Amino acid sequence: MFDQEQQIIEAKIRGFCAQNEIPLAELKWSPIPFSGEWGISTSFFAAAALEARAGKKIQVPQRAQEIAEQIKVQIGSVDGISRVEAVKGYLNLYFETSEYARRVVDEVLASGADFGRGASKNERVMVEYAQPNTHHSFHIGHARNTILGEALARLVQFAGFDTIRASYPGDIGLGVITILWAYDKFYKGQEPQGIHERGQWLLKIYVEATALLEPKENETPAEKSRREAYDAERREMYRKWDAGDKYVRDLWLKTREWSLEELRDILRILNVKMDVWFFESDADEPAKEIVDELIARGIADDERPQGGAVIVKIDEKLGLTKEKYRTNILLRSDGTTLYLTKDLALAKQKFEQYHVDRSIYVVDVRQSMHLQQAFAILKLWGFPQADKCYHLGYGFVSLPEGAMSARRGRVVLFKDVLDEAIRRVLAVESEKGPDVPEEDRKKIAEQIGLGALVYSMLAVDNSRDIVFDINEALSFDGRTGPYIQNAYVRANSILKKASAPPANMPPATFDYELDSHEVQLIELISRFPDTVQQAANEYRPLVMASYAYDLANAFHSFYHAVPVLQTDNENVRAARLRLVAVAKQTIANALRLLDIQAPEVM
């Protein structure tokens, strides 16, 4: 926002350094800490250190301070800059407060929902996420994946990337067949009512089937032979699926659709609009096709003549002497494909059909090795996009009693947590939100409950594991989603009372003595565009989650300490109303990027 002033000053600094033969490194600007005023700061330690290394006998900190002081004199006065100071090796430039506040507020009011949006980067990115296996219910671990992926997609899109959202559900595999087998054998023709009930029922069948198919300790010969008979039936079913048997395929499609209906409903609740669906079952044929090409190119080695598989010795092909990517298999000795094969075929499709420049995989960190192998093979294959494939790994979500396990039925379902969240919000809403109209309660309870859950998932860095504690995830106090939503609601409340919609907000000047809370609030608002870029560049929704809390915190403090409607001075009142409108807008934009809704009242 002060780019012009910054450029003028940079030019002066460069000129001075060139004249005096001071080796200047790159100028890095940052906000001035602890000042309670706005400004930017740069330091001269790097320049002084370069001089020291060149043989000058100097103390680096003292020399940095000396340079800063000289430059301070050189700069003199610049329009829009109220004062310049040199302290501890830093050069601090303070902006004129009224001018700065006016620029920030005017820009946000003019941009509205687009405040913070980055210029188009002319680069297409695909984010792959929200991909549970079908025939299972959606649990809280899937929720972490989906929320992380959606927040990331929103961030990169708002930052200026052309963005495609893709889901790649695992709709086939032994687990899926196990459910088909048990359904067909014990529950044929049954179908519970309700999208989520039906999905959860399939999960129950899976638990039962696993118990029947897993070897038990001390099992009797009769139990053993029954189990083996069941297992043979299951394998036969898998063979029939593979052969395209109509009965098995129809059964599979019907039950798969049950799962997909449930998944689509959850995506609807989470406000996720997927652009592309890739199904694992569809990747099988293309996967087989790429194997011959990889052999022909000398990337893969065919050991089938020796009774082996088709493999890629990744380290050897890359010319690495130390083991890093190791070796992986593309085709089993029986000729069937693997996860890696399908992922390679899918990547090819992303590059060639969707013209993706960057490809982000939001996948459990335990698959890190697998994806590194896939990216390495894509590079060997000659795809330049391989360098811009990125695995956004995240730690897994476990329960206080241990890891979640679908096959043992030990999972916490997303839908159950959401229902509980709504119950809890409704319970406190009558007490804390008496202004909430009766007919809106359910809707607002969902927004707040979901806000709490979503924020708890985004407020932890993705490299960390989460032990899911429902009381923590649904907490409404402190550093939480509802805390941020509440700041939005309070801002909205002031504006409603003032009956001053942003569109016809009267102009005002910030030429009065600003309260420190106003200074802090404007400071944070002005940082929003940079925060968008940082979060998108680092692929880290956490950056935005932290920012949103800080912004809400600044607003709550402002709200408490600074009167808006009760101010006598007309100009001050008008200026503060504009500031409230701008804070509301920025909180809304931040929440939107986090996939958290902003209720008007709560």
CB-based burial, 288-318: b 16+ in 10 Å, e otherwise: bebbeebbeeebbbbeeeeeebbebebbebe
* Rg of the chain (C-alpha set): 30
Task: Report how many residues bind RNA under the rule CB under 7 A.
Answer: 96
How far lies 544's CA from each of 115, 434, 458, 497, 589, in Å? 14, 31, 9, 30, 10
Among 9, 13, 60, 166, binds RNA (CB under 7 A): 60
Site residues for RNA, 121-150, by CB under 7 A, read 133
Instruction: Quote the CA–CA distance of 451 and 447 in Å, as a whole number.
Output: 6
Site residues for RNA, 385-414, by CB under 7 A, read 395, 403
490 binds RNA, rule: CB under 7 A: yes
List Cβ neighbours of 61 (8 Å cut-off, separation of 6 or more). 45, 48, 88, 89
Select 76 or 434, whichever has its Cβ closest to RNA: 434
| Number of residues written out for the chain | 602
Q: What are phi and psi of 562, to 5 degrees?
A: -120, 120
Site residues for RNA, 89-108, by CB under 7 A, read 89-90, 92
Q: Whole-number minimum distance, CB 180 to RNA, in Å?
A: 15
Q: Among the candidate windows 16-24, 39-47, 260-268, 507-515, which touches RNA by CB under 7 A?
A: 39-47
Site residues for RNA, 313-352, by CB under 7 A, read 313, 323-324, 326-329, 332-334, 338-340
Confirm if 42 and 86 have CB atoms less than 8 A apart: no
Q: Whole-number minimum distance, CB 235 to RNA, in Å?
A: 12
Q: Whole-number minimum distance, CB 128 to RNA, in Å?
A: 13
| Per-residue binder mask for RNA (CB under 7 A), 536-575, x = binder | ------xx--x--x---x--xx-xxxxxxxx---------
Select 83 or 273, whichever has its Cβ closest to RNA: 83
Instruction: Quote the CA–CA distance of 280 and 329 in Å, as a whole number.
Output: 18
269 binds RNA, rule: CB under 7 A: no
Among 1, 73, 229, 369, binds RNA (CB under 7 A): 369
Dig out the tokens for 208 from the structure.
């039962």
Give burial (CB, 10 Å; 0-12/13-18/19+) of 568: exposed
Q: Among the candidate windows 217-225, 243-251, 270-278, 423-431, which touches RNA by CB under 7 A?
A: 423-431
207 binds RNA, rule: CB under 7 A: no
Q: Whole-number minimum distance, CB 429 to RNA, in Å?
A: 5
Instruction: Quote the CA–CA distance of 397 and 403 in Å, as a whole number.
Output: 8
533 binds RNA, rule: CB under 7 A: no
Site residues for RNA, 141-200, by CB under 7 A, read 170, 173-174
15 binds RNA, rule: CB under 7 A: no
Q: Whole-number minimum distance, CB 120 to RNA, in Å?
A: 27
Instruction: Quote the CA–CA distance of 495 and 502 in Å, as a whole number.
Output: 9
56 binds RNA, rule: CB under 7 A: no
Beta strands in 286-394 (DSSP E): 301-302, 310-313, 327-331, 358-364, 389-394
506 binds RNA, rule: CB under 7 A: no
Among 175, 152, 75, 190, which residue's Cα sits nearest to residue 408? 175
Select 122 or 471, whichever has its Cβ closest to RNA: 471
229 binds RNA, rule: CB under 7 A: no
List Cβ neighbours of 344 (8 Å cut-off, separation of 6 or more). 287, 290, 294, 330, 374, 377, 378, 381
